[in-house]
Structure 1
C-alpha cells in the first residue's frame, strides 16, 4: 500500500502493487526481504521519486505504520547504529549496524515535501537476523567421512564465504563457498570443537564437539619398581593404551603360551618370563611389546654327577661335579665328606681320592642348598706274585 498527500487535495489513499508508482510518486526497495547475520551491518537500499515541483523536507526510515511514523534516527535503540547514506533527491539507502534478533521488523522509508506531500510505501523491507549453528554427528569412527554444516535460520542475502575453526584456530585450508565442511577419512587428530563464521564478520557460532572414536594404539607395559625380584615376591605390570573410548578390557600373556595368564589393567608377575598385554575396546585391540621379568632365587635341585665310574683303583681319582638350578647361577660351591664338619674342597668340580660319601653345597646371594651324597669306592691294587 502506498499513501500520498498533496495540497490542495484532501488526504488520498492509493492501493498499489509494490514497485508500481502512482504518477510521479513512489519508493522502490532493492530487497523486500533481507536475511542478515547477527552482529553484522545491514544495507537497506532504495530509491524514491516525486513530482519535480516538490522539494523534500524530510526523508527518514521508520518501523511503524499508522498515524505517527517515528524517525528511527531519533530512537535511542537505533540512533547510534543507524546511518543514512541517501540524500534528499533520489537515494534513500541506510546502514544498520550490529543487528540483533530485536531488530527483526518490517522497515519503511517515508518522505515529506514542502507542499505537505507525504509518502510511505508498504510492504517495505522485512529484516530477519540469524545466528550460525554447526550441525555435526556427535561421534564418528576413525576412517569414516563426516560432513559438518554451518546452518542459519534463513538464507543470507549477501553472498557468504564460510570459515571454519577447530579449537578456536582457523582451518585456512578448509575455507569454502558453501556452508559445509567435509572431513574425509577422519583421524583422531580431527577431534575437537568446531565452529563456523562468515568471512569478513566477527560473529562466530557456538562450538560443537566432534568425538572421533578409534581402537587401542600405542599399547605398552609399565613396570612398577624393578623387573628383578626375589622368589616369593611379585612385580606389578600395568597396561597402558591410547584409545577412544578408553580400553576397559585387558588380557595378559606370557611368551610361548597361547592362553592368557591374567586379565585387568594390572598384573602381578610371580615368575621369570617375558610378558605382554592386549588392550581391547569395541573398535578393536592391539598388543604391546613384551617386557622381561626376572625372579631371583637361591639354589634348587642341587645334585652331584660322577664322571666315569664311582669305583676306582687306589692311586686314581674320580671327578665329581656339582649342579644346581638358581638365579643368578651359583658361583660358589663347597664339598663335604659325610661325618666331617669341615669342607674337603671347593669349586664346581672335586677330585675324590678316597672312599666315602661326598656331597656339595651350592651358594648364591639368596641362599644355599646341599645335594644328596654319592658314594665313591677306592679299591686296592692287585698284588703280582713271582713266577
Structure 2
C-alpha cells in the first residue's frame, strides 16, 4: 500500500489516497480533507472520490466507522447508513462510479469518530478500505471575556472553539440575546473601544447560517472609584414630624461600582450596618445627626448628615423656688415650673391641692399664702403634672425701721417639698 499526499494550493485541498494494485491495475480512495472541525448542530459534508480498474463492477459502496485500526481489507464493517444513531442524519451523495461524498446533519459530540469509505467489486480481492481515515471533531462556542473591566478601558471579547473550524466562518455577536448587526465579520473577536457602564450586559456569539448560539457571558464594568465620581446620600422614610413612639427608617443610597457596604453613625458613634437603618418606637434619646458611610475595595465616602428631631410631650416637670427666707409681711414666694419637652412647653397651669380650679397660669407663680402647690406643663403633644411643694408660715419676726420707732412685722415663709 502506498500513501500519497498532495497539496492543491488554490483550494488548499488535501487528498489522502490509498492505492491498491489489483491485477496490474490500481484502485484507491481519496478524501478532500482528513480532519474536519464542525460546529455542534451543523451539517458536515465529507468530499470523497474513488477509482477501480476497468472491467470491474461495483457491488456495494458504504461508509463505516471504527475505533480500532485494522489493516485488513477483508474484514467486515457495519454500514453507517444502517446504524440507528446515523440513519436519520446520514445521506450518501455519491454514486457507484467514482463519487463517494456524504453528508451528516445535526452533528453532536457523539459523532467525534474516525470515518472510512468502503467499496466492494465483483472480483476476488476487489475490496478496498479507505485508509487513513477522515477524523470528525465537533466543537461548541465559548465567549472568553475579562472577569472585570474598568470604565473607559478597551475590552476584547473572543468567540472560541476547541478546534479550527474547517469552513470559513462569519461570526455574529449577540448582546442580551439581540444581534449586534454591525458586528458581522470573519474575525472571532468583538472589540469595545471605550467600555461604559451601559455596556455591562450578557454577550454571546454564533456563526452566520447556524442556529447554535454560545452560552452568554456577563461583562462586569467597574466605575473608577474616586470621591468626585460617585455620591452617597441618606433619605428618611417619614418626611413629616417625628413624634416619640413612631417608627423611622433611614435609607443609604450610593452609585458606587462594585456595590458598597453601608455603615451608620450617630455623630461619631457606630450604630449599625446595611443599606437600611430602622428605629422602632423612637425616643428623645435618638435625636441627633446621622451619617452613612459607603465602602468598597476602592475606597469609602460619607454622606451628608441628616438630623432626627424627635418631638415629645413634657416630662420631668418640677417646681423650683427663686425666693426663700425672711420676707416682709405681705410679700410673696415665687415658684417656677420647669419641664423637658420638644417643642418647649409654653402653657403652664398652677393648682393648689384640695381646690378644683386653677390658681394661676404662666411659667412663674407668686404664692401669697401657705399651702401645697403644683403645676402642669403643656405642649401640642401632651402634658405632665409636677410633684407638689409646700409653702408654710412660721410665726412673726419683729423688724425695726432705720429712722423711726415704728415696728414692722415680718412673716417668715418657708417652702419645702412634701
TM-score range (shorter-chain normalised) is 0.5 to 0.7
Q: Is residue 226–residue 235 contact of structure 1 (8 Å, CA) maintained in 2?
A: no
> 2:141 and 2:307 mapped to 1: Cα distance?
57
> 2:37 and 2:311 mapped to 1: Cα distance?
79
Q: Is residue 141–residue 161 contact of structure 2 (8 Å, CA) maintained in 1?
A: yes
1:250 is matched with 263
> 1:244 and 1:126 mapped to 2: Cα distance?
49
Per-residue deviation, 1:170: 3.4
2:75 to 65, 68, 83: 68
Question: Quick check: 1:283 aligned with 2:298?
Answer: yes
Per-residue deviation, 1:252: 3.0
SS at match of 1:127: strand
> 1:81 and 1:20 mapped to 2: Cα distance?
25
2:200 to 190, 194, 206: 190
Q: Is residue 299–residue 325 contact of structure 1 (8 Å, CA) maintained in 2?
A: yes
Q: How high is the TM-score relative to the length of structure 1?
A: 0.64
> 1:24 and 1:220 mapped to 2: Cα distance?
89
In structure 2, the CA distance between the partners of 1:20 and 1:128, relative to structure 1 (3 Å rule), is: closer
2:242 is matched with 228
SS at match of 2:36: strand
SS at match of 1:200: coil
SS at match of 2:110: helix
Q: Is residue 234–residue 306 contact of structure 2 (8 Å, CA) maintained in 1?
A: no
After superposition, give the CA deviation of every residue in 1:106-146 in whole Å (9 maximum; x if it has no partner).
32323344456444443232211223333334444555554
Which structure exhibits the higher relative contact order, with contacts defined as CA atoms closer than 8 Å and separated by 6 or more residues?
1
Per-residue deviation, 1:34: 0.6
Q: Is residue 16–residue 132 contact of structure 2 (8 Å, CA) maintained in 1?
A: no
Number of residue pairs matched? 335
Per-residue deviation, 1:79: 2.3
The runs of 5 or more residues in structure 2 that have no matched partner are 7-14, 20-24, 320-336, 387-418
Question: Quick check: 1:92 aligned with 2:108?
Answer: no
> 1:220 and 1:296 mapped to 2: Cα distance?
21
Q: How does 1:172-191 map to 2 (within 5 A)?
A: 172-173=180-181, 176-183=185-192, 184-187=194-197, 190-191=200-201
Q: Is residue 345–residue 377 contact of structure 2 (8 Å, CA) maintained in 1?
A: yes
> 2:314 and 2:119 mapped to 1: Cα distance?
112
After superposition, give the CA deviation of every residue in 1:50-71 in whole Å (9 maximum; x if it has no partner).
4555444333223355222533
Q: Is residue 143–residue 216 contact of structure 2 (8 Å, CA) maintained in 1?
A: yes
1:150 to 159, 173, 197: 159
Per-residue deviation, 1:73: 1.6
SS at match of 1:73: helix
Q: Is residue 132–residue 152 contact of structure 1 (8 Å, CA) maintained in 2?
A: yes
Q: Is residue 197–residue 222 contact of structure 2 (8 Å, CA) maintained in 1?
A: no
Question: Quick check: 1:77 aligned with 2:85?
Answer: yes
Q: How high is the TM-score relative to the length of structure 2?
A: 0.60
Structure 1 range deviating more: 33-42 or 266-275: 266-275
In structure 2, the CA distance between the partners of 1:155 and 1:115, relative to structure 1 (3 Å rule), is: same
Per-residue deviation, 1:241: 4.0
SS at match of 2:263: strand
Per-residue deviation, 1:154: 0.8
Per-residue deviation, 1:160: 2.2
SS at match of 2:159: strand
Q: How does 1:86-235 map to 2 (within 5 A)?
A: 86-115=94-123, 117-141=126-150, 144-165=153-174, 169-173=177-181, 176-183=185-192, 184-187=194-197, 190-192=200-202, 194-211=203-220, 219-223=233-237, 228-230=242-244
SS at match of 1:172: strand
1:375 is matched with none
In structure 2, the CA distance between the partners of 1:248 and 1:261, relative to structure 1 (3 Å rule), is: closer
> 1:273 and 1:212 mapped to 2: Cα distance?
38
SS at match of 2:309: strand
